[in-house]
Amino acid sequence: MLESRSHSSTLIVLLIILSVILGCYLFRSDIKLGHIWQKISRFAVGQEIRFNTAQFQEIQTEHFKIKYTNTDDDYVKMIADSAELAYSQVSNKMNTDGKKKTTMVVYPDSRSLAQCFGWDKNEKALGVYWAGTIRILSPHEWLKQAYNEEEFQTDGPLVHEYVHLIVDDMTGGNYNRWWTEGVAQYIEKQITGFEFEDPQDISAGQLYTFRELDKNFDELDQQISYWESRQAVEFIASQYGEEKIYTVMDHLAQGDTLNQAIEKATGTDFNNFAYQCYQYMEKH
């Protein structure tokens, strides 16, 4: 108890120091506030992981620092190899070459993964990206066939979560939930072939508007909101060219809103873009 209290106070002091340094820096430069917030949250979450996984074991690969428990002693090599594979596949596809090591935490069960986010313990997720870090559920918990590396690489969360990290990096943290979910699924489908099941018999009236996707992504029907997110990104790629996905992210990095970034990248008024995009969704 005492230990965790002293950890929290150390964290608060470090955060204050960091904020002051960054605050001074801000006055002398035109660094975007979003970039600063991204740095602070990554730092804070990095510290939180360091404290909360102090009892975990750790291995390092060229691009990852992987923390895991005894449950995954037999799986950690497979996880490490698959993480490096996901790194090279996503880096090739998105034309990036991140030099910094990414921290990945492997939780032994859904309950402990959910706990670290304060979620309902019944929440089922195979992976989560948050502030520069990737957290995954032990493959031991969900693989249909034990130790099946191919199943882990195709149906597992590594490519998807790593794309979230690249979107965060490319945009300086300035993005909407639907955008990052759309890009992650779009790239994942190309690399692994994986796609979430399409929602059944969806009619045009049941589709969410972009405003709804922007505002309450997590409260919406996840099957529909994820499907729409992927469709919107696919629409940009097929109608305007895949490179426009990256142009949108360049504009986001400059501080534009997502709607402004899409307008600039596609050269289309956003309402017109949305109209065409929903027509595209109705056909798919």
Q: Binding residues for Zn ion, per CB under 5 A? A: 181, 184
Minimum distance of Zn ion from residue 160's CB (angstroms): 5
Nearer to Zn ion, 68 or 178 (CB): 178
Calculate the dihedral angle through the C-alpha atoms of 202, 216, 172, 260, rounding to the nearest 10 degrees. Answer: 70
Round to whole Å and give the CA distance between 176 and 225.
13
Q: Cα(200)–Cα(188) distance, rounded to whole angstroms? A: 21
CB nearer to Zn ion: pick between 181 and 256: 181
What ranges in the chain are assigned the alpha helix state H?
2-28, 33-52, 76-94, 110-115, 139-142, 149-155, 158-171, 177-192, 210-216, 222-240, 243-253, 258-266, 270-283
Among candidate residues 51, 164, 38, the one with its CA nearest the CA of residue 98: 164
Backbone angles phi, psi at 103, to 5 degrees: -85, 130
Answer whether 202's CB lies under 8 Å from 208's CB: no
The residue among 184 and 277 lying less far from Zn ion, judged by its C-beta, is 184
Please, which residue, 155 or 239, has the CB nearer to Zn ion?
A: 155
- Helix, strand or coil for residue 127? strand
Could you tell me the smallest distance in angstroms from the CB atom of residue 47 to Zn ion?
24
Query: Minimum distance between the CB of residue 58 and Zn ion, rounded to whole angstroms?
Result: 25
Backbone angles phi, psi at 194, to 5 degrees: -75, 135
Compute the least distance from the CB of residue 270 to Zn ion, in Å: 24
Nearer to Zn ion, 196 or 270 (CB): 196
Q: Report in angstroms how near the CB of residue 195 gets to Zn ion at its nearest.
A: 13
- The CA distances from residue 196 to 58, 86, 189, 277, in Å, are 32, 19, 9, 20
Q: Taking a C-beta distance cutoff of 8 angstroms, is the pair 82, 147 a contact? A: no
The helix (run of H) or strand (run of E) holding residue 64 is strand 64-68
Structure tokens at 20: 């002051």
Q: Closest separation between CB of residue 154 and Zn ion, Å?
A: 16
Q: CB nearer to Zn ion: give 66 or 184.
A: 184
Nearer to Zn ion, 64 or 226 (CB): 226
CB of 184 to Zn ion, least distance (A): 5
